Amino acid sequence: GPLGSAKTRSIKSHEDLKQGEIVDGIVKNVNDKGIFVYLSRKVEAFVPVSKLSDSYLKEWKKFYKPMQYVLGKVVTCDEDSRISLTLRESEINGDLKVLKTYSDIKAGDVFEGTIKSVTDFGVFVKLDNTVNVTGLAHITEIADKKPEDLSALFGVGDRVKAIVLKTNPEKKQISLSLKASHFSKEAELASTTTTTTTVDQLEKEDEDEVMADAGFNDSDSESDIGDQNTEVADRKPETSSDGLSLSAGFDWTASILDQAQEEEESDQDQEDFTENKKHKHKRRKENVVQDKTIDINTRAPESVADFERLLIGNPNSSVVWMNYMAFQLQLSEIEKARELAERALKTINFREEAEKLNIWIAMLNLENTFGTEETLEEVFSRACQYMDSYTIHTKLLGIYEISEKFDKAAELFKATAKKFGGEKVSIWVSWGDFLISHNEEQEARTILGNALKALPKRNHIEVVRKFAQLEFAKGDPERGRSLFEGLVADAPKRIDLWNVYVDQEVKAKDKKKVEDLFERIITKKITRKQAKFFFNKWLQFEESEGDEKTIEYVKAKATEYVASHESQKADE
């Protein structure tokens, strides 16, 4: 309201704000961790995902757009670069739930918590109402009589009550005790009177758990402002949204997994018009990678120790290694990210080719973004020695294209085609695609000529067909037609070529041309099964066009075809 806006105008720094104060602001931008809000021309604040709404919004990004007005309450305001707000109505109208960090916790504090992991020497407990603070209850502090086997007593997710023995905020370490003797009679009395609140808290935590499972971790979002390296925090907030410090997070890994997946897709062109079996297999493979990522993401590690613990259990998981690298990059620790990649290559079992490939792709991405031409060249040539050289060439080409280094891509296309052009159809096709996408159609046609010189005769039909499809999709359909016409003239018996040709015409949406093509196909010498296939396809096309007259015509043609073939059989 007007009160809020009056406040807005006078905010020159964090000193003009108090915790719990209501302020209004304008959304500056949105990233994976939350939203940035202008409180005034000079001051901005961050709202982590967990503080956006009381209800759980899965597609929360849809609700916030730059320049949108929001009303919030101040959660932290110790420094200009660490102002955070909540937009949750329950907190704006009620009390702030300020989550404690390592530095807020003192010896003697009592917490409820959840077992995060069980080891031989003790259990790690995630403490409630904290920014993902985890403490260790040593085996000697579990019960008055030291237990034999902890894993028989505790499972991950069990609820426990713990008292803090000592804290070391610098190292983010907290020692806990679960011994009943610590909770004296007074403590017991106190806790019985507060049972009502703990039930509420439990419900609140359940909601938090749901959030955490969805990958919405308080920790992620809050620690982004809270305990990031000072070096990152001291930079102007601008950099926090530039894709390095904040969003280098998880996306980095996901995009590398996408890059790794590409080649399975590149060869799934329908060679045949029966159901494509490769499809199903590929889907399954994708899901496996997906599941792994989700599994690791729900436990969102947020310290070096967390990652090191995760690696003990998952030494071959490129996903864990890449997230760990991303975590270091978030702190601008580029050298540490490089060391991790080297460690990953030494650690991952030699049989795990795909996992190793992910790490090499991550290294190429890393050097392309943060390194120099020399460091990139060095990683590239090593990668070519250890992995399939052609695969590495294509990966780097993809990275150049994504990062819009088109000159570099053009050079590398030349080198790759020179090296592998005699055996690989796909390099010529991607080069043609690259050129047509950058409006260099003439160049692309020259490349097709070069491809035909370089490739053995048996690959000619395939490369021409793929260039023809490219022309239809991105270049000049007329040019695509003449390439297909050349193909069907040279190899009239290749029914699959006619099929792909028809598909391109259907996509190009020229009804007359589609119909002419079907007419030509059904008068060819084809088997009954093929005829049935093309009649069906033609019928579907006319139905999608809603052309009743032609639908009747196609049906009549089909009946006639069957009849004439029956009589031929009889004659024979």
pLDDT of residue 215: 37
- pLDDT score of 145 more than 90: no
- C-alpha 316/C-alpha 246 separation (Å) is 26
For the ranges 47-51, 53-57, 137-141, 506-510, the lowest mean pLDDT is seen at: 53-57
In 322-358, which positions are buried (b, 16+ CB within 10 angstroms) versus exposed (e)?
Answer: bbbbbbbbbbbbbebbbebbeebbeebeeeeeebbbb
Listed residue (228, 134, 141) closest to 174, CA to CA: 134
- pLDDT score of 121 more than 90: no
Q: How confident is the model at residue 251 (pLDDT cuts 50, 70, 90)?
A: low
- pLDDT score of 562 more than 90: no
- pLDDT score of 45 more than 90: yes
pLDDT of residue 528: 84
pLDDT, tens only, 150-198? 877 888 888 888 999 999 888 888 999 988 777 654 444 444 333 333 3
Q: Write out the two tokens for 165.
A: 């023995």
Listed residue (40, 49, 33, 47) closest to 17, CA to CA: 40
- 507 φ, ψ to 5°? -65, -35
The mean pLDDT value of the chain amounts to 78
- How far CA 472 is from CA of 272, 437, 452, 484, 534, in Å, comes to 20, 12, 20, 10, 21
pLDDT of residue 9: 52
For the beta carbon of residue 479, count every other beta carbon within 10 angstroms.
16
For the beta carbon of residue 210, count every other beta carbon within 10 angstroms.
11
For the ranges 80-89, 94-103, 279-288, the lowest mean pLDDT is seen at: 279-288
Could you give the percent of the chain with pLDDT greater than 90? Answer: 27
pLDDT of residue 201: 42
Q: How confident is the model at residue 329 (pLDDT cuts 50, 70, 90)?
A: confident
- How far CA 462 is from CA of 156, 167, 321, 469, in Å, comes to 55, 67, 39, 11
pLDDT of residue 468: 93
Q: 175: part of which helix (H) or strand (E)?
A: strand 173-177
How many residues in total does the chain contain?
A: 572
In 224-247, which positions are buried (b, 16+ CB within 10 angstroms) versus exposed (e)?
Answer: bbbbbeeebbeeebeebbeebbbb
- C-alpha 363/C-alpha 559 separation (Å) is 61
Q: How confident is the model at residue 262 (pLDDT cuts 50, 70, 90)?
A: low
Q: How confident is the model at residue 101 (pLDDT cuts 50, 70, 90)?
A: confident
pLDDT of residue 396: 95
Q: How large is the average pLDDT for residues 328-356?
A: 90
For the ranges 141-150, 313-322, 373-382, the lowest mean pLDDT is seen at: 141-150
pTM for this entry:
0.52
pLDDT of residue 281: 53
